[in-house]
């Protein structure tokens, strides 16, 4: 690997790590814990993705690829696999219920808006949960959506949808799940686009100016939020019509995850996203 490539990767890694380490330190995660996680991922990726076709990946080869000793590779391989399946499943189930509420005509009023739903009945919150979240108790889903502020209970006992996306407002644990999911998706897209063997590149764009007055920012925040929300709602409708969990009649092969992520960023001049003087090129 050339020195220029090592330098570019090192600089990019520093920029990615700075905000991550800020979050880790704020939440009491020590370097030792981070180092163990990093070692586990190094060993796991090297084992799963950098093997020789037709041959079982050996501890020695993983050690060569990662730079770790064989003893350390063996130790890491014996560590329990970090597990976020509970958080991921809860997130996905709640999101599917809201998606069904927004898209399924059964649960909409005449003008296409989501209806206020009785908790039980033929067309109710319970039937919505059963249709879009399987055998999870409706009460558990309702408690979750109430907790994060997506729904409210009306005086007549019905459940009203307040927000069109499942975005946890209170729980730091849920927000940190989003940190992992969203940054992983972005970096995976960049990895795909950097691969020289990739023919079909994924959409990845941003727009950035560096001399905006303070007075322009409130309008920019509102403009981007309004435009981005409308686009995401359009993409959501298309995806829901083609997703077999939401629309069981859809046919086809394979099982794929796909979507679109949008984010807004803002920093005072002199406090760039990585607190360095590097500029985008």
Of 82, 106, 132, the residue that ends a domain is: 82
Domain shared by 100 and 47, yes or no: no
pLDDT at 66: 95
Q: Judge whether 131 lies within some domain.
A: yes
Residue that terminates a domain, selected from 58, 82, 106 = 82
pLDDT at 247: 81
Low-confidence ranges of the chain (pLDDT < 70): 82-91, 164-174, 270-281
**Per the domain annotation, does 171 fall within a domain?**
no
Q: State residue 275's pLDDT score.
A: 46
Q: For position 276, what pLDDT does the model report?
A: 42
Q: What pLDDT does 168 receive?
A: 59
Q: Count, in order, helices (H) and strands (E) of the chain.
A: 9, 2
CA distance 89 to 258: 17
pLDDT at residue number 102: 84
Instruction: Let me know if residue 181 belongs to a domain.
Output: no
- pLDDT for the residue numbered 277: 40
pLDDT of 189 reads: 94
Check: CB of residue 192 under 8 Å from CB of residue 199. no
Q: Are residues 109 and 136 both part of a single domain?
A: yes
**Residue after which a domain boundary falls, among 161, 194, 227:** 161
Q: What is the pLDDT of residue 172?
A: 64
Collapse the DSSP code of 4 into the 3-class scheme (helix H, G, I; strand E, B; otherwise coil) and give the result. helix
Tell whether 185 is covered by a domain. Answer: no
State pLDDT tens for residues 199-224. 999 999 999 999 999 999 999 999 99
Q: Are residues 5 and 78 in the same domain?
A: yes
Q: Do 2 and 78 share a domain, yes or no?
A: yes
CATH number at residue 153: 1.10.10
**Cα 124 from chain centroid (whole Å):** 29
Look at residue 177 and tell me if it is in a domain: no
Give me the domain span that covers residue 42. 1-82
In this structure, are 72 and 139 located in the same domain?
no
Q: Residue 278: what pLDDT?
A: 40
pLDDT of residue 279: 39
Judge if 236 and 279 occupy the same domain: yes
Question: Is 183 within the bounds of a domain?
Answer: no
How far is it, in rounded angstroms, from Cα 43 to Cα 185? 21
* Residues of the chain by 3-state class (helix, strand, coil), percent to 5: 55, 5, 40
Q: Do 278 and 209 reside in the same domain of the chain?
A: yes
Residue 99 is predicted with a pLDDT of 82
**184 within a domain of the structure (yes/no):** no
Question: Same domain, yes or no, for 77 and 92?
Answer: no
Cα-to-chain-centroid distance, residue 202: 17
Six-digit token string for 234: 């359009």
- Chain Cα centroid distance, residue 203: 17
The domain tally of the chain equals 3
């Amino acid at each position: 690997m050339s020195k220029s490539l090592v330098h570019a990767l090192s600089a990019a890694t520093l920029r990615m790590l700075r905000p991550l380490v800020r979050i880790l330190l704020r939440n009491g995660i020590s370097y030792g814990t981070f180092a163990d996680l990093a070692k586990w991922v190094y060993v796991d990726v090297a084992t799963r993705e950098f093997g020789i076709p037709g041959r079982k990946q050996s501890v020695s080869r993983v050690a060569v690829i990662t730079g770790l000793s064989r003893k350390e590779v063996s130790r890491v391989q014996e560590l329990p696999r970090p597990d976020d399946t509970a958080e991921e499943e809860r997130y996905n189930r709640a999101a599917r219920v809201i998606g069904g509420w927004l898209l399924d005509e059964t649960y909409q009023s005449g003008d296409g808006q989501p209806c206020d739903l009785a908790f039980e009945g033929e067309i109710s919150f319970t039937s919505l949960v059963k249709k879009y979240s399987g055998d999870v108790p409706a009460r558990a889903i309702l408690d979750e959506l109430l907790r994060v502020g997506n729904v409210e209970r009306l005086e007549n006992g019905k459940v009203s949808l307040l927000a069109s996306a499942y975005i946890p407002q209170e729980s730091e644990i849920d927000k940190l799940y989003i940190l992992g999911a969203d940054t992983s998706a972005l970096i995976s897209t960049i990895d795909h686009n950097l691969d020289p063997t990739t023919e079909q590149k994924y959409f990845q764009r941003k727009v950035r100016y560096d001399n905006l007055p303070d007075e322009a920012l409130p309008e920019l925040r509102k403009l981007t939020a309004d435009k981005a929300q409308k686009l995401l709602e359009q993409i959501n409708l298309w995806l829901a019509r083609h997703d077999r969990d939401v629309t069981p009649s859809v046919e086809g092969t394979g099982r794929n995850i796909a979507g679109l992520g949008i984010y807004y960023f803002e920093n005072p001049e002199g406090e760039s996203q990585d607190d360095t003087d590097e500029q985008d090129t």
